[in-house]
Structure 1
Amino acid sequence: MPVSRIAAVEAEDEKLVVLARATRVRTGAAEGAALRDLDGRTYAAATVDLPSLKVSALGVCIAMAVASGARGAEAAVVLNEGAFLESELVPLREFAGAGVPVHHGGPNGTIGDSHST
């Protein structure tokens, strides 16, 4: 899977960074994510970490998009303190196909690397 370091983020994707960061800060969650669908709608979410339910922030974004009737995704952002898990790309690829960029960065919103489904 393609990975680039210190990726340039387009202006539209910067909006996703702002949403992911704000969601993470507001909830105090381990990670925040945001996704833009093919119609330009955005979904922002935080990690769900309950004893009976654990879902990554990107997983919640994907679920929200699917539940809203989205037909695919243009881009996504994941912000956390750790490394990006390549396994996060699997559900996004199932939903949106190949070639969707996923920018990964730290809690402050600085993007460190980008991946593609």
Structure 2
Amino acid sequence: MSGSEGATLDPEDAKIVTLARSSRARTGAAEGAAVRDTDGRTYAAASVELPSLRLTALQAAVAAAVSSGAPGLEAAAVVTGSGAADDASVAAVRDLSPSALVIVADPAGTILSTLEGASA
């Protein structure tokens, strides 16, 4: 995995960052995330913190994609105030698509890092 700061995103990747920001803002959650599947469909989610269920926003977005029949992911974005995507979040993306790009942004939408996956 490699990372880069201050990356310039293509319009499709910028779209999932916007969706992730919107999910976080709408729910007031700690994190928001969005993923784009290999068919171009997007799924957005916020972190879930219930007594019996805890999911990071990225785990929830991946779960939404999988439960909708997504065959794989092209890219994922997480918006977080912590400055980094946690290992469990990245692992959820990698379980479905080892080569998917993972974008980490702050709540203002500034790109903090991009994590490239394994080569296909």
**Shorter-chain TM band:** over 0.9
Aligned-residue Cα RMSD (Å) equals 1.1
Q: Which secondary structure state, in structure 1, belongs to the residue aligned with residue 63 of structure 2?
A: helix
Alignment correspondent of 2:7: 7
**Equivalent residues in 2 for 1:26-105, closer than 5 Å:** 26-84=26-84, 85-97=86-98, 99-105=99-105
Deviates more, 1:83-92 or 1:19-28: 83-92
Where does structure 2 lack aligned partners over 5 or more consecutive residues?
none
Q: Name the % identity.
A: 47
Q: For residue 8 of structure 2, what is the amino acid of its counterpart? A: A
Task: Deviation per CA, 1:14-54: give whole Å up to 9, x if none.
Answer: 11111111110000000000000001100000000112111
Q: Which secondary structure state, in structure 2, belongs to the residue aligned with residue 91 of structure 1?
A: helix
- CA displacement at 1:110 relative to structure 2: 1.1
- CA displacement at 1:116 relative to structure 2: 2.2
Alignment correspondent of 1:112: 112
Count of aligned positions: 116
Structure 1: distance between partners of 2:35 and 2:109: 15
Where does structure 1 lack aligned partners over 5 or more consecutive residues?
none
Q: For residue 29 of structure 1, what is the amino acid of its counterpart? A: A
Q: For residue 34 of structure 2, what is the amino acid of its counterpart? A: A
Q: Which secondary structure state, in structure 2, belongs to the residue aligned with residue 58 of structure 1?
A: helix
Q: Which secondary structure state, in structure 1, belongs to the residue aligned with residue 95 of structure 2?
A: helix
Structure 2: distance between partners of 1:86 and 1:101: 14
- CA displacement at 1:87 relative to structure 2: 3.5
Q: For residue 91 of structure 1, what is the amino acid of its counterpart? A: A
The answer to whether the 8 Å contact 2:58/2:92 transfers is no
Structure 2: distance between partners of 1:5 and 1:87: 21
TM-score normalized with structure 1 length:
0.93
Q: Which secondary structure state, in structure 1, belongs to the residue aligned with residue 61 of structure 2?
A: helix
